[in-house]
Structure 1
Amino acid sequence: MTKNEAEVKNSVFGFGAANDAYAKYFVGKSYLNGLANSDLAAANVANVTFEPGCRNNWHEHEDVQILIAVAGEGWYQEEGKPAQKMVPGDVVIVNPHTKHWHGASKDSWFAHLAIMVGKGKTTWYDPVSDEEYNKLG
């Protein structure tokens, strides 16, 4: 197994199935394990797992998103700001209409809980280029 693969695949939050429904918005392969979805509370919680090098496209949400790193090593970046490394225990609050991306580091699996506060839509943009991504630590 590669770096952090066992940690990610054996997570208490579950590994999930291939994220085929959203594959067109990712570079590389991701996995999704839905943990809680409530129309009443207008919230959704999922464990999202990224293989090494996988990242989602630039995107923004109409509502708040909270990311909690639970395994491996990854990245989070807002447009116009430097990327920040994420390791288990790190928490990022993404404000509404903030263009951003997140994903695994080049040589590590990565998993985070994604908590969507609200049922607003997500707008997807271009992928993070290999040139941009390969400059990261």
Structure 2
Amino acid sequence: MELLKQPPTMKLPADWFTGDAYADVIHRGEEPSRVRANMVRFTPGARTAWHSHGLGQTLYIVEGIALIQSRGGKILEAHPGDVIWTPPGEEHWHGAAPDHFMVHLALWETDDAIWLEHVTDAEYTGPRVTTRTRP
């Protein structure tokens, strides 16, 4: 067993994010491991650019309201406890709702993400479906 030293919280780059987002690396496996785990905190309205992962990505929503969209699909409004799987190569984005902070645990393998253009305001405010039923 080994207690791993954690690097400091890092602000995520403007090339890949709109708004302010911060990550804490939980685990970055060394060969032969490929596992990656980050706790990511988004300020209201912050979001990733469009991107994809060669081996897919899992998001576990910890707090707040998350918005996640696959290219060509509706925006999914996700809530704490929801688990979202994005398959390998699927272009998508994720971030916080405009009026809530959001924290998710991101799990993926390898660093082969392909980063694309930023999500436009029109895309960000598009039609949503929610994981929760409302009265």
- Give the TM-score of the pair, scaled to structure 1: 0.81
Partner residue of 1:131 out of 122, 127, 131: 122
Give the Å deviation of 1:133. 1.3
Could you say which structure has the higher helix fraction? 1
In structure 1, what residue type is equivalent to 2:110?
A: K
Q: 1:62 to 1:126 in 2, by over 3 A?
A: same
Partner residue of 1:110 out of 102, 113, 121: 102
For each residue in 1:97-117, what CA deviation from the matched residue of structure 2 results, as whole angstroms up to 9, or x when unmatched? Answer: 00000000000000100001x
What is the root-mean-square deviation in Å for CA atoms of aligned residues?
Answer: 1.5
Give the Å deviation of 1:23. 2.6
Give the Å deviation of 1:134. 2.5
Give the Å deviation of 1:132. 1.8
Gaps spanning 5+ residues in structure 1: where?
A: 1-15
Is residue 95 of structure 2 the alignment partner of residue 71 of structure 1?
A: no
Q: Is the 8 A contact 1:26 1:57 kept in 2?
A: yes
Partner SS, residue 108 of structure 1: coil
Q: Percent identity?
A: 31
Q: 2: CA distance between counterparts of 1:104 and 1:85?
A: 9
Larger Rg: 2
Q: 2: CA distance between counterparts of 1:33 and 1:18?
A: 7
For each residue in 1:27-58, what CA deviation from the matched residue of structure 2 results, as whole angstroms up to 9, or x when unmatched? Answer: 10001011111123210101011000000100
Gaps spanning 5+ residues in structure 2: where?
A: 1-7, 129-135
> Partner residue of 1:53?
45
Partner residue of 2:36 out of 22, 44, 49: 44
Q: 2: CA distance between counterparts of 1:18 and 1:36?
A: 14
Q: 2: CA distance between counterparts of 1:134 and 1:36?
A: 33
- Give the TM-score of the pair, scaled to structure 2: 0.83
Give the Å deviation of 1:135. 3.3
